[in-house]
């Protein structure tokens, strides 16, 4: 697999869309593994900080604030 940006060998794939990227072009974004609601009605999420991101795609979910789920 080659980097989406520069066509050199890729080191990782974007966690969000699957594009391959090299170390130079890989960027980071928080990634939600799982979200849940506590017994007190607060929404929380397990987030991986620094997940590999290609820099091109635009994940739609808000990585931190969870609202309007009901």
Closer residue to Zn ion in complex, CB, 23/44: 23
Q: Are 20 and 4 in contact (CB under 8 A)?
A: yes
Q: Are 51 and 15 in contact (CB under 8 A)?
A: yes
Q: Any contact of residue 6 with Zn ion (CB under 5 A)?
A: yes
- What is the contact mask toward Zn ion in residues 37 to 66, using x (rule: CB under 5 A)? -----------------x--x---------
Q: Any contact of residue 17 with Zn ion (CB under 5 A)?
A: yes
Closest Cα to residue 24, out of 40, 34, 10, 43? 10
The residues that touch Zn ion, with contacts defined as CB under 5 A, are 3, 5-6, 14, 16-17, 19, 22, 24-25, 54, 57
């Amino acid at each position: 697999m080659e980097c989406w940006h520069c066509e050199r060998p890729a080191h990782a794939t974007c966690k969000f869309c699957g594009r391959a990227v090299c170390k130079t072009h890989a960027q980071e974004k928080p990634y939600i593994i799982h979200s849940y609601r506590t017994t007190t009605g607060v929404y929380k999420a397990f987030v991986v900080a620094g997940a590999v991101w290609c820099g091109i795609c635009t994940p739609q979910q808000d990585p931190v604030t969870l609202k309007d789920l009901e």
